[in-house]
């Protein structure tokens, strides 16, 4: 099995059986975002307590890249502090630009190949944009 095949399997596993799919009791931030170029949608819910992501969940629909990225992202950020989450976010953006993420991103590294397909980068980044928005609730009403 080639690395591309292995990565595709990881992505399809998350797509078919997404982790952290659903809604959260006591969510402190909820963000809805769409990627019109592909039709992907995501509702991200976070419960932040004492500067730490206590829980993260999402609901959504769209292509396998967007949904798998959300599944992996919610795994990666759970239990992390806000500064740690910002580091993961920056590392994932580096990966999407075809660069070394400079940290271990676990399953998320299966999305590295997306960097070769500019149209799909938006799909992979959709949940991360929702995350970034969720961390800045002061910028405006959530769920726009
Ligand atoms: Zn998509």
> How far does the centroid of ligand 1 lie from the alpha carbon of residue 9, in Å?
17
CATH number assigned to the domain comprising residue 92:
3.90.1010.10
Cα 41 to ligand 1 centre (Å): 9
Within a domain: 144: no
Q: Transcribe 65-95 into DSSP letters.
A: HHHHHHHHHHHHHTT-BHHHHHHHHHHHHHH
143 in a structural domain: no
SS3 38: coil
Domain count, the chain: 1
Is the residue at 38 inside a domain?
A: yes
pLDDT tens over the chain, length 144 residues? 788 899 999 999 999 999 999 999 999 999 999 999 999 999 999 999 999 999 999 999 999 999 999 999 999 999 999 999 999 999 999 999 999 999 999 999 999 999 999 999 999 999 999 999 999 855 445 444
Q: Could you give the dihedral angle defined by the CA atoms of residues 11, 16, 20 and 25, in that order, rounded to the nearest 10 degrees?
A: 150
Side-chain-side CA neighbours of 72 within 13 Å: the count stands at 28
Residue 49 Cα to ligand 1 midpoint, Å, equals: 31
């Amino acid at each position: 099995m080639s690395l591309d095949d292995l990565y595709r399997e990881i992505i399809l596993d998350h797509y078919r059986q997404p982790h952290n799919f659903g809604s959260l009791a006591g969510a402190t931030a909820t963000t809805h975002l769409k990627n019109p170029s592909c039709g992907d949608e995501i509702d991200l819910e976070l419960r932040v307590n004492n500067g730490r992501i206590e829980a993260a969940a999402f609901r959504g629909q769209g292509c396998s890249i967007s949904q798998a990225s959300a599944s992996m992202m919610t795994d990666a950020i759970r239990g992390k502090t806000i500064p740690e989450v910002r580091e993961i976010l920056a590392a994932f953006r580096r990966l999407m630009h075809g660069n070394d993420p400079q940290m271990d991103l676990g399953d998320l590294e299966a999305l590295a190949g997306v960097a070769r397909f500019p149209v799909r980068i938006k799909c992979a980044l959709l949940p991360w944009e929702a995350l970034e928005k969720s961390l800045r609730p002061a910028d405006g009403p959530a769920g726009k």
